[in-house]
Every structure is written in structure tokens, then in C-alpha cells.
Amino acid sequence: MPIASRVSQLHLSGIRTVMALAAERQKRGFPVIHMEVGQPDFPTPAHITEAGFAAARNGFTGYTPNAGVQSLRDSVAARVSTSSGIGVSGANVCITSGAVMALYLTLMAIIEPGDEVLVPDPGWPNYISAVEMAGGTVVPYKLDPSDGYWMDLDTLSSKVSPRCRAIMINYPSNPTGATVSVEKMLKLLKFVEDHNLQVISDEVYEDFVFEGAHVSALSHASRERVIMISGASKSYSMTGWRLGWVVAREEVIQAVSKLVEPIASCPSSVAQAAVEAAINGPQDCVAEMKAAYKRRAEIAVSILEPAGLLISKPTGAFYAMVDISNSNLNSDQFVRRLLEEKGVAAAPGETFGHSARSSIRISTAASDDDVREGCKRIRDFLSLGNLADTAQHTMSDETL
């Protein structure tokens, strides 16, 4: 029996391909420095893990309401109210099985088949998949690295058609490590108002801004316009716990909650207990991780910037974009050769959009030593110049 066409039409992430190749290389006994995926190298803090264990031991292992337990919704609302400076209640929050699901269900709730959504280029590849799975049409908009990976609003205006419903933004950014100023955010929100669009603001890296405070779209616009996506994965190093949330006007939350039931029934009860402990417990762990990510970004900058390889200095999250244009390889070829010849796994730029095809993304969520050594190997590899002129290497998975 044939598989549905929607599966073959999905844009899959090149990140997972590199992860698989790196894992296979390690199985063969070759060491790999992992800079391909945004996986914090910190364990989930002990008090958070223990809260999850305690919930399971105490029998909190059944179904919960679609939108999550009320106490967690209220805790997320209090967290967002404090960080954004606006009043948010639990009725404005839906808990989901990860921020990826939060994004997908939001799109399912607000767009009709054929509606258009503006998506950043470069941007996280799952944005494209989520729009397409919801039946929407992706309209990419380019981010300018010379302007801190910001958009040109005049060019953006030309992309807004009568079918355009929303724009996705992501600051701090994956893959660029860029953050946004209040001034720029206000200009964007004025644009959104003028064009009658909704903002889907992915703020999952909100706790990792290296200088100044995080600028949330929620802080500067009507809740009628802004839908915030976030979660616990990055802030509390809980990527495998799969717990995220949507913050929006009640109409959207009710729609998203309704969609949870046929897709997941409810979020994990145990994960909800752990995240509630994370939000309401000591935040020293977050501050420690932020300090480490800032330090690692500085290590990467100190090695790559003098070599002219850093496209833009990262100011948040734990990523940076590296210029590989002098290699004369496309980014997919480059990351395969980098893994094969230097033992460093990185993400191909083109998986984040057409504008990034001459770059790679590195994750600085690895240890200090791995970030330092990985960046040195990338620098040294690129110092060889035109890699297309060197001995040809088989680009098949079997060589890695």
C-alpha cells in the first residue's frame, strides 16, 4: 500500500541526517565533536528530575486536562507575566508535548488551507514543515546578517498578499544566535498592525540573552496580535521531557486545547510535575547555563572571528553561523567532509534556508573544550581554501 503524499512532500531537517552520520561514525570507533544539534550538555537539574520521580511514585501517572494541569498553566502565566511585564492568566496558556507541538497546533488553529505564513530565512527548518502540515503556504523572508539578522520591512511588505495570515519570528534565534532590540521589535509590530497579521513568536531561547534583557513580542503588542511559543527544553535542559506551551488570547488557547485531544490526549503528567518544579524552584541553574553559553560563544568568536569566518557575532541562544564560501563546496558537502576528515559534526546551512547555503551552523551547547577544539578544526579545515580542488571524497553515508 502506498504512503500518503504528504509524507514525501515534507521538508526534512539536515540536522538529523548529520546526527545519524555522526552516530554511525562513533559506532565504528571514531570520536566525534558534536556541534550539529542544540542539545545542552547539562543534565536536567536534580531538583527538577526528583519532582518528576516523586510525581510518578505518588501515582500522578494518569491523564490530565487537554491544556495541562491548572497549577502548571498558572505557573507559566506567572513566569510570562514577570518576564513580559503584562498580565497573563492560566486561561491564556496551553501546555503541549514540546514547543514543536505548540507551534504545529497553533498553525492548525489559525490558518486555513492555502493561507500564507511568512517564515524567516535562515530559520529553524521545522517552521516550514509545520506550515506545510497545517495546509499553509510558506513565504520565506530574508534576514540580513549585516543588520543583526534582521528583516527589511519594505521588502517584507512586498511579500504580504491577501492570503497572508501570520509572520513567524524567533529571537534569540536558531540558527543565528541573534537577538532583537526594542526599537526593531516596535517597528515590526507596527508593520504587523498595518498589514493585519498575527505574530507567532518563538521564544524558546528567552533565558539566554547575553547582554541586556530579552525582548518579547508580548511586551510590546496587543495579545490579539501575538502568539508566544516557548517551553522547558532549553531553559532547564529538558529536551527529552517534551514539554512546551502556547501563550495567546483565550480564543486561540481554546482552539489549541481542542486540537490536543485527537493528537496527544494531553501532555505527560510526570513532565508537567517536573516543569512546575522547574518554574517555581530556584533559578540558579538557568543563570549557570546562561553564563556557560555566553562563555562558549566567546570562545567560538575568539577563534572564528579573526579568521574572517564568523558571519555575525552571536548575542543569544547557543548557535553561530560560519562562512564556508571559500571552500567552493555546498554546505551539505562541507559538513560531510568536515565529519569525515576532521571529526566535527555541524549542521548544513541550506537546511535553514536558501540564504544560508554558503554557511554552516555550529552549536555552542557542547563543552568548553569541545567548542574550542571544534572551532579550531573548522578554522583549519577552511584554511585549506578551495576544498573542491582537493582529492574527491565519496559523499555517501558509507564513508562516514
pLDDT in tens, the chain (400 residues): 889 988 888 877 899 999 999 999 999 999 999 999 999 999 999 999 999 999 999 999 999 999 999 999 999 999 999 999 999 999 999 999 999 999 999 999 999 999 999 999 999 999 999 999 999 999 999 999 999 999 999 999 999 999 999 999 999 999 999 999 999 999 999 999 999 999 999 999 999 999 999 999 999 987 789 999 999 999 999 999 999 999 999 999 999 999 999 999 999 999 999 999 999 999 999 999 999 999 999 999 999 999 999 999 999 999 999 999 999 999 999 999 999 999 999 999 999 999 999 999 999 999 999 999 999 999 999 998 888 776 544 344 333 3
- Residue pLDDT, tens place only, 199-255: 999 999 999 999 999 999 999 987 789 999 999 999 999 999 999 999 999 999 999
Q: Output the domain CATH number for residue 316.
A: 3.90.1150.10
Judge if 367 and 377 occupy the same domain. Answer: yes
Judge if 72 and 161 occupy the same domain. Answer: yes
Buried/exposed 107-140: b ≥16 CB within 10 Å, e otherwise: bbbbbeeebbbbbbbbbbbbbbbbbbebebbbbb
In angstroms, the CA 24 to CA 4 distance is 29
Q: For residue 396, what pLDDT is reported?
A: 40
Specify the residue for cell string 563543552: 367
Of the candidates 21, 117, 68, 123, the one whose C-alpha atom is nearest the C-alpha of residue 269 is 68
Count of other CB atoms within 10 angstroms of residue 213: 11
Q: Output the domain CATH number for residue 130.
A: 3.40.640.10
Q: For residue 223, what pLDDT is reported?
A: 77
- The number of folded domains in the chain is 2
In angstroms, the CA 220 to CA 199 distance is 12
- Residue pLDDT, tens place only, 152-197: 999 999 999 999 999 999 999 999 999 999 999 999 999 999 999 9
Residue type for position 151: M
Provide the whole-model pTM: 0.94
Residue type for position 244: G
Cell numbers at 39, concatenated: 542539545
Q: For residue 399, what pLDDT is reported?
A: 37
In angstroms, the CA 8 to CA 23 distance is 24
Judge if 266 and 231 occupy the same domain. Answer: yes
**Within a domain: residue 139?**
yes
Buried/exposed 147-164: b ≥16 CB within 10 Å, e otherwise: ebbbbeeeebeeebeeeb
Q: For residue 358, what pLDDT is reported?
A: 96
Q: For residue 393, what pLDDT is reported?
A: 47
**Within a domain: residue 62?**
yes
Q: For residue 385, what pLDDT is reported?
A: 84
In angstroms, the CA 397 to CA 166 distance is 38
Judge if 263 and 325 occupy the same domain. Answer: no
Q: In what order do the strands lie in the sheet with 347-348?
A: 319-323, 359-363, 347-348
Q: Which of 282, 313, 339 represents a domain boundary (last residue)?
A: 282
Judge if 57 and 37 occupy the same domain. Answer: no
Contact criterion met (CB below 8 Å) for 32 and 345: yes
Q: For residue 128, what pLDDT is reported?
A: 95
**Within a domain: residue 193?**
yes
For 341, the domain range is 5-43+284-386
Judge if 292 and 245 occupy the same domain. Answer: no
Handedness of CA 157, 161, 166, 170 (dihedral sign): negative
Q: Which of 250, 282, 314 represents a domain boundary (last residue)?
A: 282
Judge if 55 and 160 occupy the same domain. Answer: yes
**Within a domain: residue 393?**
no
Q: Which of 235, 266, 282 represents a domain boundary (last residue)?
A: 282
**Within a domain: residue 187?**
yes
Judge if 16 and 122 occupy the same domain. Answer: no
User: Torsion angle, CA of 111/114/120/123, rounded to 10 degrees?
Assistant: 90
Radius of gyration of the chain (CA): 21
Please state, in angstroms and as integers, the Cα–Cα distance from residue 263 to each residue in 116, 364, 379, 388, following that order. 24, 33, 45, 46
